[in-house]
Structure 1
Amino acid sequence: MRSGAGERDGTDMWEVALPERPLQVPGVQMAGFRDRGVVPIDLRVIPQPAVSLALEFGAGMPFVEQDGGWQLRGSIVAGLGAGASGAVRVRGGSYEGVQVRLSPLVARAALGVSPAELDGAVFGLEELWGREASRIREWLDNASTWEQRFALTDALLARRIAEGPAVDAEVGWAWRRIVASQGVVKVEGLATEVGWSRKRLWARFQAQIGLPPKRAADLVRFDHAVHRLTAGEPATLVAAESGYADQSHLHRDIVARTGATPVTVVGDPWLEVDDVAWSD
């Protein structure tokens, strides 16, 4: 099992476990997190082009604070781009959990609702799954290894995705085109490429993916750029190669999406652990 850690002031904060075996369904990633208890948890949630599940277990139960006060405890679902403007933070005591990132292409089938219904917000998993949310928590808590927890989560998601609705092939193609271009794509041409009218593609794409194509491309572009900055690449180069007009444009986008300056964001533990947990 591979593992790694995010750092704050040089101190390892997290134990991170990754599956040793391939998962059953493309578009699903997962990692196990256990905080080391060095400092209290206080994490800014950075928007990302995925729908996230945080399946918590164990004795500790940190809370998600959204919109300056509304708090959620237990397992949660975060919609596409959740955390905009720095509105979502994770705070509290110790944490153990399996975190899952779902491509929008499989999120609707896995969750039972369209990503558009999540509207970039955070919800308790019980609101979507009912008693099944409690059962998965019990299963994860009773499992003795990370690999067992990954296998349980993988089997659950594979079943739900197999039973749920698939996105339109044209919508899937457009999303993959946006991701492959790292968000730098002329979205106006996507409808022509799939042979649909612009109105039809935009409506189906937003309903099934959760954002219209232009906003989806901008989110993918931001995600790619902020990870390059975290890796230490110069902002001028990142802006030029990521489709921004200039460095100031990149700066404004990061502030608007995270509520913080680029210097603050690239040192954030959320991103420092990101490439360990979600590396290709």
Structure 2
Amino acid sequence: MTVIAGTPHPALRDVVLRYEGFEDRRGDPVTFRELPCSFVPIIIDLDAGWTITYGGAPPMRVGSFVAGVTDSVVVVGHSGSARCVQIDLTPLGARRLLGVPMSELANVTVPVDAVLGDFGSRLVQRVGDAATWADRFAILDRALRARLAGAAAVDSGVVWSLRRIAAAGGNVAIGELAGELGWSHRTLIARYRDAVGLPPKTVARIVRFESLTARVTRDPGADWTATALACGYFDQAHLAREVREFAGVTPTVLRAELVNSVQDAASAPS
């Protein structure tokens, strides 16, 4: 398995979190669980495609795809050979780049060309024709910057409030945000569904869950009670309920998954 990190152009700072090249030639079918996240991945497939499963829904086969913000586990698999480029977008960057209400993509996966049309099809072709990972990342830089040049701005109130949520690690009173903006709660929810895809309270909970997984990854031996309080949960029981809802497992199992994931990434050649 090979993982190659790419650095997006500085002009894309508020839109693209990271580029990543991925190649897996282990030969045996592989499935892995993608946890809820607040970013929007675009996968440009360079191999035989993927199997995506949401909850109890039947698996779907896709090639290059876009996945909206998710609040539950998604099972992703390939048949034993995989090669792709992943572009992780900020949620508001995705709204600008994709040009559709993000509620249409929340908790779903759709083919790239279904969202990005001819631009998406051409991008997949050009990235697939490139000779090196560096060339692929450079193609993405140029294409994304060109598309964003004519993109509409995102609601400034959502931009401000989402920054507040991120800075607080998800621990912010949504009613207070609405009040400071002079919006009703209903207006705040509607604007978040358009710009992010999910209601602000759910987004804040996902951001807090991401803070938890990051903390556990850094310090897998940390005490659960201390971790719960540091991440803004009321107590360990509250943390356990949130982990079960978002990850579908106990905190202990989640910690084992995160540790194994880090070890796998560390052993992958660059």
Which category describes the TM-score, using the shorter chain as reference length? Answer: 0.7 to 0.9
Which of 123, 132, 146 is residue 119 of structure 2 equivalent to?
A: 132
- Cα pair distance change 1:141/1:69, threshold 3 Å: same
Distance in 1 (alpha carbons) for counterparts of 2:264 and 2:35: 10
* 1:55 aligned residue: 44
Alignment of 1:259-278 (within 5 A): 259-268=248-257, 271-272=261-262
Contact 2:53 2:59 survives alignment (8 Å): yes
For the aligned residue pairs, the C-alpha RMSD in angstroms reads 2.4
- Cα pair distance change 1:271/1:213, threshold 3 Å: farther
* 2:109 aligned residue: 122
Distance in 2 (alpha carbons) for counterparts of 1:274 and 1:208: 34
Could you say what secondary structure the match of 2:149 adopts? helix
Which of 208, 225, 228 is residue 239 of structure 1 equivalent to?
A: 228
Which of 44, 56, 59 is residue 70 of structure 1 equivalent to?
A: 59
Distance in 2 (alpha carbons) for counterparts of 1:267 and 1:144: 37
User: Relative CO higher for 1 or 2, CA cutoff 8 Å, sep ≥ 6?
Assistant: 1
Alignment of 1:33-52 (within 5 A): 33-37=22-26, 40-52=29-41
- Cα pair distance change 1:201/1:20, threshold 3 Å: closer
Matched, 1:230 2:217: yes
Could you say what secondary structure the match of 2:22 adopts? strand
Could you say what secondary structure the match of 1:268 adopts? helix
Q: Note the C-alpha offset of 1:180.
A: 0.9
Q: Deviations over 1:50-102 (max 9, x none)?
A: 11111111x443322334423122011111125x1x34333322111111111
Q: Note the C-alpha offset of 1:23.
A: 4.1
Distance in 1 (alpha carbons) for counterparts of 2:157 and 2:264: 30
Distance in 1 (alpha carbons) for counterparts of 2:42 and 2:145: 14
- Percent identity at matched positions? 33
* 1:255 aligned residue: 244
Distance in 1 (alpha carbons) for counterparts of 2:264 and 2:203: 20
Distance in 2 (alpha carbons) for counterparts of 1:202 and 1:109: 19
Which of 136, 141, 150 is residue 163 of structure 1 equivalent to?
A: 150
Gaps of 5+ in 2: none
* 2:167 aligned residue: 180
Q: Note the C-alpha offset of 1:237.
A: 1.8
Distance in 1 (alpha carbons) for counterparts of 2:148 and 2:202: 25
Could you say what secondary structure the match of 2:6 adopts? coil
Which of 68, 82, 107 is residue 95 of structure 1 equivalent to?
A: 82
Q: Note the C-alpha offset of 1:152.
A: 1.1
Structure 2 letter corresponding to 1:216: V
Distance in 2 (alpha carbons) for counterparts of 1:111 and 1:182: 26
Could you say what secondary structure the match of 1:230 adopts? helix
Contact 1:109 1:162 survives alignment (8 Å): no
Gaps of 5+ in 1: 1-13
Could you say what secondary structure the match of 1:47 adopts? coil
Q: Note the C-alpha offset of 1:21.
A: 6.0
Distance in 1 (alpha carbons) for counterparts of 2:9 and 2:44: 19
Distance in 1 (alpha carbons) for counterparts of 2:224 and 2:146: 43
Contact 1:116 1:206 survives alignment (8 Å): yes
Alignment of 1:202-221 (within 5 A): 202-221=189-208
Structure 1 letter corresponding to 2:2: E
Could you say what secondary structure the match of 1:190 adopts? helix
| TM-score in terms of structure 2 length | 0.86
